[in-house]
Structure 1
């Protein structure tokens, strides 16, 4: 089965009880960038936003931010 990388921004915002806009301010990442990541609109992922999210929220396990999932054909 084919795989793809999933960025779990929506899940993180729900778990932390904050909006994408608030997360944007806290991480100094453009709101548009976070929105594209959250909605799986990016073909390439730069690690800098992932690192900023992890740092801002004390995340030590990258699997809280990204995951590899099966794609249904």
Structure 2
């Protein structure tokens, strides 16, 4: 099972931009995630095809389980 931390933002075109981080530290600290997302927006360090990131949309942990089928 693999886990990712997804940080979702809205850009100037009001489109969702997602950054995925592998193997997040758990338990996730919501205050640290919020601070990091605020800094990403304030620093303007990422740009998307729809313009700069303007607001936070959500953050979430996504788990994926793969089960091999023996043939």
Q: By the TM > 0.5 criterion, same fold?
A: no
Larger helix percent: 1
Structure ID, larger Rg: 2
Higher relative contact order (CA 8 A, sep 6+): 1
Scaled by the length of structure 1, the TM-score of the pair is 0.30
